[in-house]
Structure 1
């Protein structure tokens, strides 16, 4: 053993503790049989809790007329029951909605395994308790051991009584506390005789049946054993939660193999009990072989019922496909680390089709490292021999198959007649074998065997000596026709098996193609509405029924899409959809929750949580999809959830991008306002304050300098506000050029004049080609462009350096360039400088700017149909802003000046 051990709590234990947060606590008073005092003990404990200050409310308590129990009920607040009408009568049920709204600290709910009257929210009372626990309400309840689903068949075998009201073992396993109320069998029988359990007439009948000493002893043993097993699990959970070191055995996994036999459900219950005793995970597996198509509807229903029972008991149902049942089961067991395999005992009376005698024996022989548990016991009654056979095919199909076999035999006889003219008799059988194979592949095994018999007699009658009689004179011919019959039957079976394999392959391919087609549709859908329409249309086509998708809206759900188009559902279906959304479990028709609804609702979940609810409505004669259909629908629901989330994420990413861009613009605008608006205002206020405070002390020169400062800063502030207004007009589309024929030289001269004071430390050179034609421009806007470019050049070019503006026409456009000898613009920023509020960061530059000047220039130039971009200056020094404007529709000659 390693000297150091990991003393950290296990992740499973921490996860279990996290899941308990916010939930109510469930305490179950467990008894071996009615009358041991479970309700009495529950009420006594509740009185103690009430004396401690806990708010206790009775949801439902059944006293059964016992005076001692009725005396304990007094003093508690009793919630009025809900009256439900069913088949012309009124029944009292616990008012779950009122109890949840009341929100007591502790609710008393008797008889946990009780079945609710149709019309209640849930099918079972234990599901009502789950809702109370989810709402954070503690619950006390009572339960008899015979109501556990996994020991239902054992109780029936012991007592001879079939218990109808059962609940999943997971309910008892999930209880936070269990208190066993034990009473010796003789004491319980004495209470029964005294009339403290049932009425006298019922008591006498019960003593001779369910309440016999042997039955009560067996039930008592099961109750105590379940309690002991739970105590052991609690000890292990405690050790894991508190990181107490100890020997941890490898986790076991039980796999039960089920088939179409009537004892399949018994195998599932045995596997559940076996796994629970070992604290192991478990699952149920069935193998579909090429012969599965021959199963009757009753046999298919048994397999489906066993798989559903496995789901209810907490197992994992799996359907596999394969030719070899044993190899398929062993491969799955190895892949999933199973340690024990549970199978039924071999059958002797009938030829096994799936897990019969030969398959079971082969599994035992080839198990190797696995432990195989062979479940024996008395075999359950089987149907009569006639009923046990596969259901006959429709009469029409049998008739057509027989006619086709006869016609094919006639055709084969004609071909054989031609063959007989040129080839030996041995080759004639090939034509008949071909006919048998065609019939078997087209109409199945029965028609193939019929064709074998017809071909055998035709071959014997027409082609063996003496001909045209069924007698055979030559011993060699006897062997020929006998081997022909064997070969024909063999070919018939092989062809029928091949046909079954082809059908199974087609079904598997159909399911795969269904998922592929669905994935292709939802992947191609770009918008949420397209995805929802693809989902409902594909699901409806898959189940040959109706489908709809409900999405959250406000505090409820709305029908987002339906096929056939549907925008409303009834109240029962709406309640089922809301429950499926809230709890993340199926609800509605065919499920255990709100089964009176017309729709079955499946939650659509992803890693981020639920995104909606998928509703399906089967055909009129189908109540619940088969396990295979349900798994396919659940897979479609998961893919639909991912597709819906994908479109949601795209919208979220776009919204995040817009929000980020908005935040960047806001930050840039605030930065500009804080500097470019505040700085000139400070200068103006300072200069004006100096004039006011020292007016008499200032000479004319100082006063003129301060006034000039006020003017310069006011003009600077005006340019900033004008840029903001221009940018706003550009963004809203309100800035429309008012073009007219103008001389570019006049526009440039006006811009240079406006920048005279800004460019006083620079030499501005203007060179315009004399061939420049008149242009269709908005003179005011283009003047603003040149002003912004010259202003930008004056800010960054060193004092004393020249700034050059030149323009010339080309055959394709007008080229205008403004060049300076400043630090230049890095290559990665040359496109970005024309974005709003973007400024090049330079470590040695203290020049302020808003990042709007060049953005306004681009907007105005593009409004004139031109382009603008930045390039490095001459010899890679400075920056050149180059503008391309379109040529005017006509090129009038510029007027020449007169001498």
Structure 2
């Protein structure tokens, strides 16, 4: 029988990080028990795939001495195993790295639930298979019904034997194909007797359970699992195309647990129910004040939370004293449709009350408060538990220090009361004992408070009630006083202890909220990965008393950079980054390392890995600390996501600016380069075609060619100079010069360009020398004068003036033309910006930008303003220094 499934809604694999590799397909050969022929059927299927041209490989198969299996394996390519040295023995293990490197299309792996050799990457073989599937490799595997995680307790109660190895149910329900290998019990027993069926070492040691009655029960259970899977397929096909509507009305299951090992079965039953109904499910624990004093219970609760997480459930730890009200309120909040509760049968008289509270009374109150909520009560008795041993362990953990302090406090209170009795009446002294009970309850808890109440009543009777120093009571009215005093003391102790617990819960919640707020505040101002790493070291590390390292990927986001911290194992961090799953200490993957490695999952992909290593000892296994650490990881991932997009935005802005400049350059230069080239070409053709051109006209044509060439040369020179200065910076060769010489050289270079304009210079005779780069500054004057020539009509006057004021030299280039356009004067100093955008005047707007660059390099300033009554004035201010002393001056 073969079934094929779409991935289930509830049990889908949470492969977070996006990848281009399509996930491989898993085919499970499923049977009721060992010996039915799962491995034989799997090898036959592998051979058919090999004959069809598929690249197959044998991963890990143990024939257990079966000649039939050995012949089937012959001729099939096999992956070489890895040999691991463990306890002075060389053990054979499946080489996951070799399989990933070889990358066949199909790998056959036997015994999916088998445990790996200690020291490997994963503790379980199903984790190796999960990694192969994530890499896009198809896998054939075998599985027994007793090895499904949620059926462990059912099979244990059915056959009286606990199955140690298990596989999460999601592998069964999410597998692409499930092939049921069925064999009637009588035929299986006959095969075992004849020796044609071989068992594993573990199954051989427990062969006593392979009797006809147990085989029939296991066969029925296997058939039921396959039928449930087929029913889920039909349900999925029915909902296909209407998932939005179905998702809004699907069931949600709450599983209420206590911090007891027997409630593992409750979680397993909840997982089965959720798989059957294709529903979301949440495991809920109500944290009462009594739970705070039980360290063993906290460890058990953490184990139950990890079990729920491995089975695909959400875990919620809710503080509250009223269990029923807390469960009902949470059911309303999460829109739950069913509630699963456990009811332990009382194993002793003192347990009867607890069983009643969780079994009948809680159930009844839930039904009354939420009639629409479906209630399922499951018996959670553990046939393998050892009550006496557990009780002895709990007794050994009794807080004796608190009881001893209560005795000392009561003795001290009795001593004070004996003194006060001479001044106050006996009823007033009784209040002193009541105060003692309240203080002890607040400080030491409920047990110490109840013990103090008993001691207070006994002390009051023994020392202060006649006859003294005896527990006998002469006045029977005191009996009522003792009962009332004891009742009030116990109730007060209970209330004080509950208040103390609530204060502790509130303090812990405030601590977590404050820590998350502080981390969020510090990360909000971080805009670079280095700043985020600093926040991890300065803010997060003290919260957990641990070393913290942030391991980030390279620019290609495929390989992590080497971390500078010594405790970071880069290979483990790389595995965590690739698979987006936690690894290291406290997990089932690469648990031999000291540090815990957590993936930083952003909204789009994994942004890095957070490595955390305890300063001393091991990391805390407290569930609250782990949730706080997970919250910090979310905040760090979001911060890294933000910095990633900041970098993208900055790069985009730079590219857009470069694109803008490129377009502006092409738009400006294409016209101004084409215009003189066209003119030069036309003039050259004139000289070529007209052979007997008069000398005057030939001279005019030659002059025009020279002017156009000079214009083109200035344009190209400005482009090259500006590009060089912006990329390499301005390199100046400063020397002491007279400004008049530089101005004369600039005017001489312009030559015929100034033929149609009048030029006046006003330079004082005592104008001091100035330390400048003569060639660069000559370029400034040429560009400013050429700009005045272009934007003034012929016959206009261009004036060059200079004067020294204090330690500054002021240079002016003025004209009496039309003046500046109605634009911001500062804009004309930007590259590719012109005062008049659409005009017949040649130029691309680089001359003034080049002038500002050169003047700034001289530590000067350049400005432009309107000149009254008309015209434009450019002013350059340059610092004056102390000129060198000439030898003749020194001699005189």
Report the TM-score range of the alignment, normalised by the length of the smaller protein. 0.7 to 0.9
Residues 302 and 199 of structure 1: CA distance in aligned 2, closer, same or farther (over 3 Å): closer
Q: Which has the higher contact order (CA 8 A, sep 6+)?
A: 2
What is the aligned partner in structure 2 of residue 375 from structure 1? Answer: 378
Task: Indicate the residue corresponding to 2:354 in structure 1.
Answer: 352
| Residue of structure 2 equivalent to 1:231 | 230
Question: 1:467 and 1:33 mapped to 2: Cα distance?
Answer: 75
Give unmatched runs, 5+ long, in structure 2.
1-6, 884-892
What residue is the counterpart of 1:835 in the other structure?
830
- Preserved CA contact (<8 Å) 2:93 2:117: yes
Give the 3 Å change call, closer, same or farther, for CA 526–107 of structure 1 in structure 2.
closer
Q: Does 1:305 align with 2:303?
A: yes
CA distance in 1, matches of 2:830, 2:412: 85
What SS does the aligned partner of 1:183 have?
coil
Partner of 2:844: 850
2:339 to 338, 341, 349: 341
Taking a change above 3 Å as real, the CA distance of residues 259 and 205 of structure 1, as seen in their structure-2 partners, is: closer
Report the Cα distance in structure 2 between the residues aligned to 1:169 and 1:584, rounded to whole angstroms.
21
Q: Cα gap change, 1:475/1:155 in structure 2, threshold over 3 Å: closer, same or farther?
A: closer
Which residue in 2 is equivalent to 1:188? 188
- CA spacing shift, 1:560–1:671, aligned 2, 3 Å: farther
C-alpha separation between the residues in 1 aligned to 2:416 and 2:811?
Answer: 91
Q: Against the structure 1 CA distance between its residues 830 and 45, is the aligned structure 2 distance closer, same or farther, given a 3 Å change threshold? A: same
Partner of 1:5: none
Q: Where does 1:596-635 land on structure 2 (aligned, <5 Å)? A: 596-618=592-614, 622=618, 625-635=621-631
Residue range with higher mean Cα deviation, 879-888 or 707-716: 879-888
Pair 1:713 & 2:670 matched: no
SS where residue 387 of structure 2 aligns? coil
Structure 1 gap segments, 5+ residues each: 1-8, 892-899
What is the match of residue 103 of structure 2? 103
Per-residue displacement from partner, 1:80-118 (whole Å, max 9, x unpaired)?
Answer: 433333223333333333333333332222222222212
Q: Residue 378 of structure 1: CA displacement?
A: 4.3
Higher mean C-alpha displacement, 160-169 vs 82-91? 82-91
CA distance in 2, matches of 1:336, 1:499: 29
TM-score when normalising by structure 2: 0.85
SS in 1 for 2:560: strand
Query: In structure 2, do the counterparts of structure 1 residues 23 and 820 end up closer, same or farther at CA, with 3 Å as the change threshold?
Result: farther
CA contact (8 A) 2:764 2:802 kept: no
1:367-446 pair list within 5 angstroms: 367-376=370-379, 378=381, 380=383, 381=385, 383-384=387-388, 386-387=391-392, 389=394, 392-393=397-398, 395-396=400-401, 398-411=403-416, 414=419, 418=423, 420=424, 425-446=426-447
How do 1:374-773 residues align onto structure 2 when only pairs under 5 Å count?
374-376=377-379, 378=381, 380=383, 381=385, 383-384=387-388, 386-387=391-392, 389=394, 392-393=397-398, 395-396=400-401, 398-411=403-416, 414=419, 418=423, 420=424, 425-456=426-457, 459=460, 479-480=480-481, 482-525=483-526, 527-536=528-537, 538-553=539-554, 556-562=559-565, 566=566, 573-618=569-614, 622=618, 625-669=621-665, 674-677=670-673, 679-688=675-684, 690-692=686-688, 694=690, 696-724=691-719, 726-727=721-722, 730-731=725-726, 732-736=728-732, 738=734, 742=738, 757-758=752-753
* Structure 1 residue 176: Cα displacement: 0.7
Aligned length, in residue pairs = 863
Provide, for residues 516-553 of structure 1, a one-character-per-residue CA deviation record: whole Å limited to 9, x for no partner: 33334434555433422432454443333444333334
Structure 1 SS opposite 2:236 = helix
Q: Which residue of 1 aligns with 2:62?
A: 62
Alignment partners' CA distance in 1, 2:431 and 2:11: 70
Q: How far did residue 55 of structure 1 move?
A: 2.7
Q: 1:831 and 1:415 mapped to 2: Cα distance?
A: 92
State yes or no: 1:366 paired with 2:365. Answer: no
Quote the offset at 1:233 in angstroms: 2.6
Matched, 1:792 2:787: yes
CA contact (8 A) 2:119 2:592 kept: yes
Q: Deviations along 1:852-879, whole A, 9 cap, x unmatched? A: 211122223334544334556769xx98
- Please give the per-residue CA displacement for 1:666-714, whole angstroms capped at 9, x wherever unaligned: 55555565444554445445434543554x4211121111121122123
Aligned twin of 1:215: 214
Which residue of structure 1 lines up, in the alignment, with residue 888 of structure 2?
A: none
Match of 2:86 in 1: 86
**Taking structure 1 as reference, are residues 315 and 772 closer, same or farther at Cα in structure 2, changes over 3 Å only?**
farther
Larger deviation, residues 704-713 vs 101-110: 101-110
Q: Is the 8 A contact 1:29 1:142 kept in 2?
A: yes
Paired with 1:213 and 1:624, the residues of 2 have a C-alpha distance of 48
* Cα deviation 1:469-505 (Å, max 9, x = unaligned): 7666666665555433433333233222222222222
Alpha-carbon distance in structure 2 between the residues aligned to 1:500 and 1:753: 95
Kept in 1, the 8 Å contact 2:35–2:199? The answer is: no
**Is 153-162 or 652-661 further displaced after alignment?**
652-661
Question: In structure 2, what is the Cα distance between the partners aligned to 1:888 and 1:192?
Answer: 109
Contact map agreement 1:805 1:819 (CA 8 A) in 2:
no
Partners in 1 of 2:13 and 2:197 — Cα distance? 43
RMSD in angstroms over aligned alpha carbons?
4.2
C-alpha spacing 1:884/1:803, structure 2 compared with 1 (3 Å): closer
CA distance in 1, matches of 2:708, 2:684: 12
